[in-house]
Structure 1
Amino acid sequence: MTYMNPNQARRCVLYARLSVTKEESVSIARQLQSCRRYAEARGWEIVGEFIDDGVSATVNRPEDRKGWRSLLRAAEFDAVIIWKVDRLARRVLDFLHADETLQMRGAGLVAVEDPIDMTSPQGRAFAVMLAVFGEMETEAIRARVRAARVQLLKDGRWPGGGIPYGYRSIANPAGPGRVLVKDSERVRWLAEAVAMALQGATVNAIATWLSDNGAPLPRRQSEKIAAVTWNRQTVDGLLRNPVLAGMTPHNPGRAKSAKRVDPFAVVRDEHGRPVINESLAVINCEEFAVLQHMLDSRTSPQARKRRDRQATSPFLSRVARCDDCDAYMCRGTNQKRPVLYCPTCRQTIGRAALDPYLVRRLLTERGSELLGDATVEQSWAVAGADEVARRAVLLTQLDSLRIRRGVVGRYFDDERVLVQWRLSDSGRQDDLPVAA
């Protein structure tokens, strides 16, 4: 293996990453500023700067991040300058894999705050040791957080996170920390919603009732988005929260999707029985179990009646597949916005940006292809506003359309959209298929 002489490096790129912006965090701007000063001190030419803002290194590997992928596609460079090793990776394997990728293109990794220089054999060895200690530190922090959470739960205190609807947290009158109590403004709405569900009302019917009667929204939503309304996901989540029966979720406020939460994963005593706080209970444990069974057994009854559904465009009906599950993605709405969602893993992608993105690519990349006696662009113009006709034109050119999961916290990312066009057959395509 050969190593680049650091004194001969002339071209470099900068990389910065940040999970969550806080006062104590080293901002993206500060990281890049430090990296620029390092490059200037060595007399290196900076040929690019790449960032991943709002991206966790624990959850997302470097190759799964948009900024890092863009860096790897950049023009020739000799070194990548980062602020610290943990800005690139929090796991040793991720760090080594990223470094190996750079080695394959003859580039080295340099960290400003850590005394490493991957352009030399000694620097590489020391960097690996730093990565090992960094992973050990991450695991130690996790262990301390878990232990602290367990102790808080045993003491009956609230460990933080999203406050369940119908409740609020107050200073613990019996000692340090905070505890949950019922929220007098919202608990009556919660109790009525639970009673309706136990009587057979659908989740959508409850959401409509809450909206029509002006029920106050969950505090975390109403504080951030003034125009948000009740929806099926919000109602389903509050009906599945074990706090309804006075139980304490084992990891309260953590998961964002009720479908990924086990409602019976609760704090239990030494005999395996749930620890009950009667002052918080709206229903008893038996009623809670019945409610969960009713919610789990419903499939089509949860859907709105056809006359109450919001119409969505058939343009991508049975066209896109989930890259994880290989299932066709369904069209629907989320917060009254059109989306495609996977019925298996529940990933979604908004169509407000996806549809025009596909249209632009179709007309730009395939517009001059022959389609019958006309071109794709001419056939598209003839289709006009007819979404079914537009879908038919798209399908003549499309071999596959797959949607993969995006980076947590990101909006529309065109790198999630994997498009493969059909190969032209002597410049001609088959006749338009019949729309589904």
Structure 2
Amino acid sequence: MNLSKARRCVLYARLSVTKEESVSIARQLQSCRRYAEARGWEIVGEFVDDGVSATSNRPEERHGWKSLLAARDFDAVIIWKVDRLARRVLDFLHADETLQKRGAGLVAVEDPIDMTSPQGRAFAVMLAVFGEMEAEAIRARVRAARAQILKDGRWPGGGIPYGYQSVSNPDGPGRVLVKDDERIGWLSDAVAKALSGDTVNAIATWLTDSGAPLPARRTERTSGSTSWNRQTVDGLLRNPVLAGMTPHNPGRAKSAKRVDPFAVLRDERGRPVVSRALAIITTEEFATLQRLLDARTVPQARKKAERQSTSAFLSRVARCAECAVHLCRGTNQKRPVLYCPKCRQTIGRTALDDYLIDRLLIERANELIGDLTVDDAWARAGHDDMARRAVLVSQLDTLVIRRGVVGRYFDEERVLLTWSS
């Protein structure tokens, strides 16, 4: 693509987190508009990914970039800087290759690159390399700062465990964790019930019926609800702070979204660092508690009479974006879900099934399966889940579910679907 002949362009801006030193989405787009106007190019679209990390999300996984690629009739994509598009060299090259295949060029306002020449492409790759190095340097500084805070016995921030609260450090800067008088008794009783053999669901019901105060963060999200759920109870029973230990996962892989309860701060000999002031059970009791919870985690470990049957429509169809394993069928509070057996992410089935069926019958209705169209094959399948599954699978290339905020509403951006060619 010769950018000197470009006539129509689209703009793309991205921002991870808004800070004072950040160049805002509005300023990025303003700079891109001025660039286009100076060259007499017509702007036919503007696309934004706000609050999206380039380190954690490849361009093709972002809603804004996907919408850009779905647009038509543009010759160039204008970005503010190379690192707005990608923080990894391979991600940048893949995005540029995708644009080249459709005959479009890439322009960076603050980085004078010309992707039409070998020298320009080499310079662009160098900029992407420096962007990747900068991202890694930031991660290293954050890890080092967190390690020092933990070593000093201070609270590094984040979600405060139920039954505890953070207060100003009486011995120096920062904050420390202490027991919360209002909630620590409820936590101790919940742990005792779990160690005595009560199920997580039974404990959640007991906490709700007894009027136990919810975790502060959940209270803010639930608009006055007083009901406990299984995930909340399971999470607080798996927190190593119960035994006075500090969660610590240095170098944890991105795919390991489920926190290992035994990944804790350790001393030079590899022994857990324990704060007696925070502990409500011993480390041995904590290990016993985790074994009890794990024994009841897998639906197949329950009695057959306690299992709830779910539709086989998506059996071994969808995969987890992080773990690359098939999602399993299950239920959550008696509602059908898919869940990852490794990282434990879940997505509700009711809205997901309807969403997939709608897309199948709208986007693939006239495709052939043997002598039948998809529309006809679906009608013939009726209410047979396995027959409906066969129709869907015949049209699918990939169906990937990525992690997201689990709430009342279905988020279609979690669903990465491609049809077979």
Aligned to 1:426: none
Q: TM-score, normalised by structure 1?
A: 0.80
Identity %: 68
Higher mean C-alpha deviation, range 281-290 or range 14-23: 14-23
2:401 partner SS? coil
Structure 1 residues 232-262: Cα deviation after superposition (integer angstroms, max 9, x where no partner): 222121111111111111149x999997222
Distance apart, 1:57 and its partner CA: 0.7
Aligned to 2:417: 417
Aligned to 1:125: 122
* Gap change, CA 1:259 and 1:296, over 3 Å in 2: farther
In structure 1, the gaps of 5 or more residues are 422-436
In 2, distance between residues paired with 1:258 and 1:397?
30
Distance apart, 1:328 and its partner CA: 6.0
Specify the code of the residue in structure 2 equivalent to 1:42: R
Aligned to 2:179: 182
2:358 to 360, 366, 369: 360
* Gap change, CA 1:418 and 1:75, over 3 Å in 2: closer
* Gap change, CA 1:392 and 1:93, over 3 Å in 2: closer
2:274 to 273, 276, 296: 276
Structure 1 residues 77-129: Cα deviation after superposition (integer angstroms, max 9, x where no partner): 32210122111011122222222333343332212233434345554333333
> Contact between 2:213 and 2:226, CA under 8 Å: does it hold in 1?
no
Aligned to 1:93: 90
* Gap change, CA 1:133 and 1:395, over 3 Å in 2: closer
Q: TM-score, normalised by structure 2?
A: 0.82
* Gap change, CA 1:141 and 1:408, over 3 Å in 2: same
Higher Cα Rg, which structure: 1
In structure 2, the gaps of 5 or more residues are none
Aligned to 1:48: 45
Aligned to 1:266: 264
* Gap change, CA 1:168 and 1:99, over 3 Å in 2: same
In 1, distance between residues paired with 2:15 and 2:230?
33
In 1, distance between residues paired with 2:37 and 2:77?
14
In 2, distance between residues paired with 1:42 and 1:251?
50
In 1, distance between residues paired with 2:196 and 2:207?
16
* Gap change, CA 1:360 and 1:168, over 3 Å in 2: same
Distance apart, 1:58 and its partner CA: 0.5
* Gap change, CA 1:298 and 1:51, over 3 Å in 2: same
Is residue 215 of structure 1 aligned with residue 212 of structure 2? yes
Is residue 140 of structure 1 aligned with residue 111 of structure 2? no
1:192 partner SS? helix
Distance apart, 1:140 and its partner CA: 1.5
Aligned to 1:431: none
* 1:266-415 alignment runs, 5 A limit: 266-299=264-297, 314=311, 316=313, 318=315, 320-322=317-319, 329-334=327-332, 338-343=336-341, 346-364=344-362, 365-366=364-365, 388=383, 392=387, 395=390, 399=394, 403-406=399-402, 411-413=411-413
> Contact between 2:381 and 2:387, CA under 8 Å: does it hold in 1?
no
Is residue 200 of structure 1 aligned with residue 206 of structure 2? no
Higher mean C-alpha deviation, range 297-306 or range 147-156: 297-306
* Gap change, CA 1:61 and 1:358, over 3 Å in 2: closer
Higher mean C-alpha deviation, range 77-86 or range 20-29: 20-29
The size of the alignment, in residue pairs, is 412
In 2, distance between residues paired with 1:373 and 1:399?
12
Aligned to 2:244: 246
